[in-house]
Copies of this chain bind each other. A is one copy, B any other.
Amino acid sequence: MKTVDEALAYLLSKVVPTTQVEDVSIHSALGRVLSQDITSQYNVPPNDNSMMDGYAVRACDIQADKVFKISQRIAAGSVGDFLEAETVARIFTGATMPQGADSVIMQEEAVEIEGGIKFLVSSVRPAQNVRHTGEDISQGAVILAKGHKLRAQDLGLIASIGIAQINVYQPLTIATFTTGDELLEPGDAPEAGKIYNANRYILAGLIPQLGFELIDLGRVPDTLEATIETLKKAVSIADVVVTTGGVSVGDEDHIKPAVEQIGQLDLWKVKMKPGKPLAYGHVMNKPFIGLPGNPVSAFSTFNLFARPFLLSMQGQKYVLPQPIWLKAKFDWTKKGFRQEFVRARLENQGKDTVVTIFPNQGSGVLTSTVWADGLAVIPENSTITKDDLVAYYPF
């Protein structure tokens, strides 16, 4: 048996990141992964500019009750003239400071009078209310690194240095299929001895959510021939194959012999609960990940193993989820020899954020994953007492 950390480290060591790239507009680059560093050609802001609507002044000129001539008006987007001594410039938020000026007095502190303007302040600090050249980004700086997955604010930052097109990795194409003759598809009439296929729809959510392209090959009959045929099809059209079910050692499990016949397979029992069996291999040089057939296990192992593997293959740099350490609201009295990932969520009690868990942690209870917002980890051979710190991983 491998531990979770061993299995994960092994999987990540086997990743061959994609090299397929494309140019996309930043207008539609949400969730894409940068294939190269983004370096700024410019300072942001490019010039000193006003943080306020008000008056650009020379700080040394300012005195109480002094009347100033308004020598010019500088709207955002226009460029003013040199600010002559003893004059001020009407200026608006974002407008470039005129040469000669060093500060801005906000309009609420100014009174227009006959022949000019006077201020309600008797002095001003040089650089007050001025945003300086390069304060946000300095010319030549790497603003975002290769392997970064783009969020809304990242797109804004790239825009702010004038870049409209960026080079990103093409999304991986992931073929999935589910196995199990005991399965019906939703919409089918119920049949004795059969249950509805949940895994197919879990994968149809998880895979696009992470930015991958899904090719859903549906459900495959529990025969060796059908499994081999579907595997061949999958590797011919996708970058990776992810399946659920068929990876136990039971007589009815055909994934293992099918992959072995046309590729290589490692089948592991991972020291974790839920989700013991996990298969990893290759078919025609395409990676293959076989998740357990139990839906709670499939969901958990996808998040713990397939997700970091696929993100890493997609070129993403930071793929391991980071735990938040918080106090347990529960007791866990039964030591297990496997690391346990319990369905959990956070609860606030005043200024205390605690981790609470679903009462029925049975691996057959998919409701637990729906109730939960994350997983809490019970280390192997351990108990947890209320108020102990536990590692919580949000989904």
> Hey, which bits of chain A sit against chain B, CB under 8 A?
26-28, 30-31, 42, 44-47, 49, 51, 53, 75-79, 92-96, 107, 131, 135-137, 143-144, 150-165, 180-188, 190, 192-206, 208-209, 216, 222, 248-252, 293-295, 299, 322-326, 346, 348, 351-353, 360, 362-367, 369-370, 389, 391, 394-395
Contact = CB atoms under 8 A, between A and B. Distances in A.
B27 A201 contact: yes
Given A160-B195, A160-B295, A353 B324 contact: yes
Nearest first, the 5 closest Cβ-Cβ pairs linking A and B are A152-B205, A76-B182, A164-B187, A77-B182, A156-B202
A153 B94 contact: no
Contacts of A31: 209
Contact of A205 (B53, B78, B151, B200): B151
A175 B383 CA distance: 53
B159 A196 contact: yes
Given A348-B323, A351-B389, A153 B202 contact: yes
Contacts of A370: 143-144, 151, 153-154, 157
Given A26-B201, A75-B181, A156-B199, 12 more contacts: A27-B204, A75-B182, A75-B252, A77-B180, A92-B252, A94-B180, A94-B195, A135-B362, A152-B205, A156-B198, A159-B201, A324-B353
B324 A152 contact: no
A125 to B, nearest CB: 15
A205 B153 contact: yes
